[in-house]
Copies of this chain bind each other. A is one copy, B any other.
Amino acid sequence: MPNVAPATRERVAQAAAELSYVASPAASRLASGRTSSVGVVVPFASRWFFAQVVVGAAEVLRSAGYDLLLYQLGDEDGREQFFERLPLHRRVDGALLIDVALQPDEQARLQSLGIPIAVVGGAATGVGAVGTDEAAGVELAVRHLSDLGHRSMGMLCGRPADGLRFVVPDQRRVAFLEATERLSVRTDPSWVVTTQWGIEGGAQAMETLLAEASRPTAVFAESDEIAFGALRTIRRAGLAVPGDISLVGFDDHELASVVDLTTVAQPVTDLGAAAASLLVDALDGEADPFARVVLPTSLVVRGSTAPPR
Residues of A at the B interface (CB closer than 8 Å) are: 20, 22, 24-27, 29-30, 33, 35, 37, 40, 44-48, 51-52, 54-55, 58-59, 62, 67-72, 74, 86-87, 89-91, 112, 199, 228-229, 231-232, 254-255, 257-259, 269
Contact = CB atoms under 8 A, between A and B. Distances in A.
Contacts of A231: 258
A55 B46 contact: yes
Contact of A20 (B48, B70, B86): B86
Contacts of A228: 255, 258
Given A52-B46, A54-B46, A58-B45, A258 B24 contact: no
A89 B22 contact: yes
26 contacts: A20-B86, A24-B90, A26-B30, A26-B35, A27-B30, A29-B30, A30-B30, A37-B69, A45-B54, A46-B48, A46-B51, A46-B54, A46-B269, A47-B51, A51-B51, A54-B70, A55-B72, A62-B72, A67-B87, A68-B70, A69-B69, A70-B70, A199-B258, A228-B255, A232-B257, A255-B255
Contacts of A55: 44-46, 72
Nearest to A56: B46
A263 B97 CA distance: 35
A47 to B, nearest CB: 8
B72 A69 contact: no
Nearest to A232: B258
Given A45-B51, A45-B58, A69-B69, A25 B91 contact: yes
A226 to B, nearest CB: 11
A55 B50 CA distance: 12
Nearest to A89: B22
Nearest to A235: B260
A70 B51 contact: no
Nearest to A52: B46
A24 B32 CA distance: 13
B259 A259 contact: yes
A269 B72 CA distance: 14
User: Which A-B residue pairs are the 10 nearest by beta carbons?
Assistant: A26-B29, A26-B30, A46-B51, A51-B51, A46-B55, A228-B258, A70-B70, A68-B70, A58-B72, A45-B55
Contact of A229 (B71, B112, B258): B258
Interface-centre pick from A35, A45, A91, A228 (highest chain B CB count, 10 A): A45
Contacts of A51: 45-47, 51
Contacts of A229: 258
A14 to B, nearest CB: 13
